[in-house]
Amino acid sequence: MLLLAHRGASADAPENTLEAFAEAVRQGADGVELDAMVCGSGEVVVCHDERLDRLAGQPWEVRTTPWWKLSRADVGTPLGFAPARIPLLEEVLDALPEHFLVNIELKCDRFDDGGLAAGVARLLRERDLSGRVVVSSFNPLCLFRLAEVAPTLRRGFLIDPDKPWALQAYALSPLVSSHSVHPFHEACTPERVTAWNDAGLRVAAWTVDDPRRARELRDLGVSYLITNRPGRVREALR
């Protein structure tokens, strides 16, 4: 089972920043999970929230704010860390070690993704990273678009625990997942994990910081464990 640091090692550094990804490397993660969205000037940035109220104390909406302005936001101090900034996806891809697996979540809940899927595909193609990237999303339309522009990229459907299970797991996931399925860890039962593995899909469970639960999921056959504390979980799994 591979450990993916959730938004980087986000328990110990500001989430989705270069500092958090560097901390994931230091803690011995196998890769990272990160969030990608398009900002107001068209660049693909690494950020989870649609607005920066929580992260930076600013009412800015990412999709309508240009990169020059977003780059000045301090997304470290409001979370209790040293000052940090929102990075571009290309910066993160260039900074990560060559052996790292990268799970890029496409963050978009609208019909029109503003060029997000195409932009991510272009960056991955330019850097020849398809072999170590999995692209996931709660939005099946994003994964459909990704399949159209980059059919060989590995795709994984994120299952929302607040939406009907059967529709997502048995109808949408088989249509858009080419590599993996990404359920909340509490949805990972022995029967479900076995069925997914038998169907040729890897399971990426999120978000697990409890060592005991991590061991249970490893024993069930989960392939990727997404955690805020990769160092602590790594030590427990030893």
Structure tokens at 39: 């900002």
Structure tokens at 227: 């955690």
Residue showing tokens 């038998």? 198
Instruction: Note if 99 is an active site residue.
Output: no
Q: How many residues does the chain have?
A: 238
The residue annotated as part of the active site, out of 6, 179, 182, 185, is 6
Instruction: Note if 48 is an active site residue.
Output: yes
CB 159 within 8 A of CB 182: yes
Distance CA(78)–CA(169), nearest Å, equals 36
Q: Provide the b/e sequence for 180-210 (b: ≥16 CB within 10 Å).
A: bbbbebebbeeebbeebbeeebbbbbbbbbe
The residue annotated as part of the active site, out of 48, 179, 182, 185, is 48
Residue showing tokens 């427990």? 236
Catalytic residues: 6, 48
